[in-house]
Amino acid sequence: MQQAINNVFNSVFQVMNGFLSSFIHDPGTQWGTSIVLFTILFNLIVFPLNWKAMKSSKKMSLIQPELKKIQEKYKNDPARMQEAQSKLMKDNNVSMLGGCLPMLIQMPLFIALFQVFRNLASQGTISKLSYLNPIIPDLAAVGNIQLTVITVITMLISSWLTQKSNERSMTAEAKAQAKSMNTVNYMMALMIGWFTWQNPAALGLYWITGNLFRIVQQLIMNSFDEKNPDPIVVADLPEAEPKRKRNKVIRK
């Protein structure tokens, strides 16, 4: 299955590069532009999944106050608490897997994309070809510090925009918890930066293009949410059952 996806991606990329060769005669510019356009095409394909994941994450932050009410009201009744939380998320079309499931679906696609760029470098197809020189003097070379730094910066900006968007509707407690995620975001950005450093520059160009696409995507979503705020279905909570007192047993 994965090999079939790899073959499809490679075929599409070759067709796109062949088409650009009719207009762009410099090999480096031709291949670099192919990578950028192919990355944009890839992100457009998975855009519905990413949009759904972003909406689910946003909605989850919006219902945090309602989840807090449920936890406080049914703190002595775990079964009722679980039932009320499940109903709240269902009524608001929110899933616990809403944010990670789209990423899992995209993983085979990313692997295929990675294989395309790695094969280009290993076969020598893009060796010694520059793009946006001096940023990328060689699309096949590893250890490009410029791309590594730009990858980290653009990824942090993307994460920051997402965090700020979600924080608008968070409670003070939820904001404090969200700040702990900053460390995770920093570590992820550094990890991707190291990944960029260790792999051909073509892959770094992919990461940067993808990050820029997600930044624009988040800005569009923020603007859309401001003009069309998503309504929240408030939880209808029945009275909690009083905690039963156990009768003391007096032993003679």
Listed by start position, the domains of the chain span 141-231
What are 157-173's pLDDT values in tens digits? 988 887 777 666 555 65
pLDDT at residue 181 in the model: 63
Q: ∠ at Cα 51 (162, 39), nearest 5°?
A: 90
Is-contact 115 149, C-beta < 8 A?
no
Structure tokens at 219: 């800005």
In angstroms, rounded to a whole number, what is the distance separating the alpha carbons of residues 15 and 250? 86
Scanning the chain, the segments in alpha helix (DSSP H) are 2-20, 27-45, 47-62, 64-73, 78-91, 101-122, 145-167, 172-179, 181-198, 201-227
79 Cβ neighbours under 8 A, 6+ residues apart: none
Instruction: Give how far Cα 242 sits from Cα of 76, 82, 237, 251, Å.
Output: 8, 17, 14, 27
pLDDT at residue 177 in the model: 60
- The alpha carbon of 90 is separated from its chain's Cα centroid by a whole number of angstroms, namely 23
1 Cβ neighbours under 8 A, 6+ residues apart: 108
pLDDT at residue 169 in the model: 58
Other C-beta atoms within 10 Å of 87: how many?
15
pLDDT at residue 86 in the model: 83
Among 212, 196, 201, residue whose Cα is nearest residue 32 = 201
pLDDT at residue 58 in the model: 74
What are 53-84's pLDDT values in tens digits? 777 777 777 777 788 888 888 888 888 888 88
> What are the residues facing 242 on neighbouring strands?
none
Q: ∠ at Cα 147 (22, 205), nearest 5°?
A: 35
What is this structure's pTM? 0.78
Q: Which residues of the chain have pLDDT under 70?
A: 95-103, 105-106, 166-182, 228-231, 235-252
pLDDT at residue 240 in the model: 58
